[in-house]
Amino acid sequence: MVTGGAGFIGSNLCEHLLEHDNKVICLDNFSTGRTQNIQHLFGNPNFKLIVGDIRNLADCHKAAAGVDYILHEAALGSVPRSINDPIMSNDVNVSGFLNMLVAARDAKVKKFVYAASSSTYGDSETLPKEEETIGRPLSPYAVTKYINELYADIFYRTYGLNTIGLRYFNVFGRKQDTNGAYAAVIPKFVMKLMQHESPLINGDGSYSRDFTYIDNVIQMNVLAILTENPEAVNTVYNTACGDRTTLKELVNYLKFFLSKYDSKIANVQLVYGPNRIGDIPHSLANIDKAKLLLGYDPQFSVQQGLSEAVKWYWENLK
């Protein structure tokens, strides 16, 4: 069962699991998810959509009944959204998460794999980020994601529920939403560039991130489901590429790949603005733990992923 299965990461997971002959239940309330992400799956007899809300325990119980594995992706993403409405972010990301843990426990699922976040590293200046060293959260969103890890650990120790948290680092790729105030940086920049408009860079462009292509994230979810190594369960993993790219480099890669489709994009100028509240200067993951305990072997570098993502946006949104 995939919660948030109509969203960016969740819909890619549903698609991948169905392609590999699994039965998939998708639970989503379509608050940020979209029908178009999953409508091609509606005719598949192995796919079932439950429109419901993780803030409603009955919906969680209904979706989890008879399920072997839960991939919990449903949440309200975005640091700025959580700063604008911390109560809503907490309701979905903390109370909704707790409901899903209770439903997973009651349904006796084999494993509960959940979307954690690199934001949990907060103000820690250590680079690269290693799982055991975190700082203080820098936003309400980061608090919610850290609380998820604490609850997952308690559900293992109290009720014996097997959990794995995947701390995603700036995921990007096909189906990521380009619209709205809370869109992520890569789809936002791609849309601007396709319209020959200047993307706004917060700060001087030197801030860096470990941008992670969706197929690497899918691999981590599958490995987390499949692992039978007792030492690999009931813990968290950096889910990243293990490489960092500055915002300025990122825009230049995007311009390069997009200009293969439209040469005018190479001439679009960049615009710089102030830094955003809650943004850390640099983020880079150490992915050794995932390699060692799960056998993670990311197949897409940032450049390869960007090339794929740009192709998808060009073919689907231009």
Ligand X SMILES: NC(=O)c1ccc[n+]([C@@H]2O[C@H](COP(=O)([O-])OP(=O)(O)OC[C@H]3O[C@@H](n4cnc5c(N)ncnc54)[C@H](O)[C@@H]3O)[C@@H](O)[C@H]2O)c1
Residues in touch with ligand X (CB under 6 A): 4, 6-10, 28-33, 53-55, 73-77, 92, 96, 115, 117, 168, 170-171, 177, 184
Closest CA to 115 of 269, 220, 266, 233: 220
Closest CA to 313 of 239, 262, 244, 247: 262
**What would you measure as the largest C-alpha separation in the chain, in angstroms?**
59
The distance of closest approach from Cβ of residue 143 to ligand X in the complex, given in angstroms and rounded to an integer, is: 13
The distance of closest approach from Cβ of residue 119 to ligand X in the complex, given in angstroms and rounded to an integer, is: 7
User: Rounded to whole angstroms, how far apart are CA atoms 161 and 144?
Assistant: 20
The distance of closest approach from Cβ of residue 220 to ligand X in the complex, given in angstroms and rounded to an integer, is: 12
Q: Which is nearer to ligand X, 168 or 237 (CB)?
A: 168
The answer to whether 187 touches 258, Cβ cutoff 8 Å, is no
User: Rounded to whole angstroms, how far apart are CA atoms 177 and 182?
Assistant: 9
Closest CA to 112 of 53, 157, 161: 161
Annotated catalytic residues are: 141
How many CB atoms neighbour CB 200 within 10 A? 13
User: Rounded to whole angstroms, how far apart are CA atoms 230 and 209?
Assistant: 31
**Half-sphere exposure of residue 160: CA atoms within 13 angstroms, side-chain side:** 4
Q: Which is nearer to ligand X, 72 or 268 (CB)?
A: 72
Q: Which is nearer to ligand X, 93 or 227 (CB)?
A: 93
The distance of closest approach from Cβ of residue 168 to ligand X in the complex, given in angstroms and rounded to an integer, is: 4
The distance of closest approach from Cβ of residue 77 to ligand X in the complex, given in angstroms and rounded to an integer, is: 4
Q: Which is nearer to ligand X, 3 or 265 (CB)?
A: 3
Q: Which is nearer to ligand X, 54 or 254 (CB)?
A: 54
Q: Which is nearer to ligand X, 54 or 285 (CB)?
A: 54
The distance of closest approach from Cβ of residue 196 to ligand X in the complex, given in angstroms and rounded to an integer, is: 26
The distance of closest approach from Cβ of residue 86 to ligand X in the complex, given in angstroms and rounded to an integer, is: 15
E strand map for the chain: 2-3, 24-28, 47-51, 69-72, 111-117, 163-168, 171-172, 200-202, 208-209, 212-213, 235-239, 245-246, 271-273
87-119 burial: b if 16+ Cβ within 10 Å, else e: eebbbbbbebbbbbbbbbbebebebbbbbbbbb
How many CB atoms neighbour CB 156 within 10 A? 18
User: Rounded to whole angstroms, how far apart are CA atoms 143 and 97?
Assistant: 13
